[in-house]
């Protein structure tokens, strides 16, 4: 049985791009009975950027509610909050002492973030070692990640190999499991309201859990359409409205909208209204469940607490093994 583990950033309510591109595929992967799956909310990593405790908690609750709303089965996935298993910070320290400073300075994501963010703290720099600890603490075999995380996975493998080598140069016995990244080939590309990839840092996101009024406003204001008169034919293929609609509806529905746009007499306003409906109706189960969880955070907490208990069992065993080898 392979153990599949992944961490989720908790920088805010997941948007449409997260739901289609990450949450749904991860939930599908977790359904495979051949895998044992661990999924956690990386709220200790969030501290590198968010210093408001109430905000941290709120983000965690929104992320957890969104995953549960999208169908994550917490009976089959160990679903927990990173900070509920503080063992990870101890392992991160050991790993840091086995990883060359020079190699840390080559991390792309640190360079990218330190160019962009105002608060460039030491935690941001050591982020990859905490991520390595997230993975190695649980003896994970496979780690589904986006391409932007591959270097972090490489660092994780490298630090695990260094430690394994130190404790048994013959490699007859491995102290830590060296994980493999899992990248999906056909990741669904979800355009944002500006046509670029949908991403929180670009302010081009749509929140499928927002109330319909707010969602309508986002669609109308954020998606810029040209001033082609209502009667004139329009090109669906150069339109984000159509692209998003097509991602959310059946082939027949998408073909119908494309035909109406090409025929003329059908405006961008009509298309935007159809997009709004596709989101509100298409995600109505998720929206209802999300609202339920957000109004019953004690249920969300209970799920996370159960996950933390399960996670701590494995974490304690790995850490005991590592401590003993290190001489503590």
Residues forming the site for ligand TRP (CB under 6 A): 6-7, 9, 42, 45, 131, 134-135, 143, 145, 149
CB of 131 to ligand TRP, least distance (A): 4
In the complex, what is the shortest distance from the CB of residue 156 to ligand TRP, in angstroms, rounded to a whole number? 8
Note whether 245 and 219 are within 8 A (CB).
no
Q: Minimum CB separation from ligand TRP for residue 211, in Å? A: 28
Nearest distance, CB of residue 176 and ligand TRP, angstroms = 14
Closest residue to ligand TRP: CB criterion: 7
- Smallest gap from Cβ 23 to ligand TRP, in A, equals 13
Both tokens of residue 108?
Answer: 């792309």
Number of Cβ within 10 Å of residue 253's Cβ equals: 14
Between 155 and 218, whose beta carbon lies closer to ligand TRP?
155
Give helix then strand counts, H and E, for the chain: 15, 5
Q: CB-wise, 45 or 81, nearer to ligand TRP?
A: 45
Q: For residues 16 and 244, what is the distance between their CA atoms, to the nearest angstrom?
A: 10
Report DSSP state, residue 54: H
Shortest gap between Cβ of 135 and ligand TRP (angstroms)?
5
To the nearest 10 degrees (0 to 180), the angle between helices 53-69 and 284-295 is 140
Q: Report the residue number, 134 or 139, with the smaller CB distance to ligand TRP.
A: 134
Residue number, 143 or 223, with CB nearest to ligand TRP: 143
Q: Is 311 exposed, middle or buried (0-12, 13-18, 19+ CB in 10 A)?
A: buried
Q: Which is nearer to ligand TRP, 93 or 237 (CB)?
A: 93
Shortest Å, Cβ 59 to ligand TRP: 13
Do 59 and 83 contact (CB within 8 A), yes or no?
Answer: no
In the DSSP assignment, the letter for residue 258 is H
Q: Based on CB atoms, which residue is closest to ligand TRP, 135 or 261?
A: 135
Between strands 142-144 and 180-182, the pairing is parallel
* Burial class for 5, CB neighbours closer than 10 Å (0-12, 13-18, 19+): buried
CB atoms within 10 A of CB 286: 19
**Which residue, 122 or 252, has its beta carbon nearer to ligand TRP?**
122
């Amino acid at each position: 049985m392979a153990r599949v583990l992944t961490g989720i950033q908790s920088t805010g309510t997941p948007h449409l791009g997260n739901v289609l591109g990450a949450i749904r595929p991860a939930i599908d992967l977790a359904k495979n009975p051949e895998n044992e799956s661990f999924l956690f909310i990386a709220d200790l990593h969030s501290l590198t950027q968010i210093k408001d405790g109430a905000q941290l908690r709120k983000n965690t609750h929104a992320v957890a509610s969104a995953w549960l709303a999208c169908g994550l089965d917490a009976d089959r996935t160990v679903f927990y909050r990173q900070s509920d298993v503080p063992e990870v910070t101890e392992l991160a320290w050991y790993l840091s002492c086995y990883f060359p400073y020079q190699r840390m300075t080559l991390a792309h994501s640190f360079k990218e973030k330190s160019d962009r963010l105002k608060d460039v703290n030491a935690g941001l720099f050591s982020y990859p070692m905490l991520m390595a600890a997230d993975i190695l603490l649980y003896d994970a075999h496979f780690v589904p990640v986006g391409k932007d995380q591959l270097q972090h996975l490489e660092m994780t493998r490298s630090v695990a190999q260094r430690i394994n080598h130190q404790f048994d140069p013959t490699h007859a016995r491995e102290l830590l499991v060296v994980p493999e990244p899992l990248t999906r080939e056909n990741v669904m590309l979800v355009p944002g309201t500006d046509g670029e990839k949908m991403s929180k840092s670009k302010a081009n996101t749509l929140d499928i859990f927002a109330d319909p009024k707010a969602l309508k406003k986002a669609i109308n204001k954020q998606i810029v359409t040209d001033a082609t008169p209502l009667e004139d034919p329009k090109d669906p293929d150069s339109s984000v409205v159509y692209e998003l609609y097509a991602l959310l509806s059946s082939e027949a529905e998408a073909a119908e909208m494309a035909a109406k746009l090409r025929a003329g007499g059908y405006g961008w306003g009509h298309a935007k209204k159809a997009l709004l409906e596709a989101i509100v109706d298409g995600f109505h189960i998720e929206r209802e469940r999300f609202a339920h969880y957000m109004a019953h955070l004690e249920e969300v907490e209970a799920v996370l607490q159960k996950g933390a208990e399960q996670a701590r069992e494995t974490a304690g065993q790995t850490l005991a093994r590592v401590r003993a080898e290190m001489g503590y």
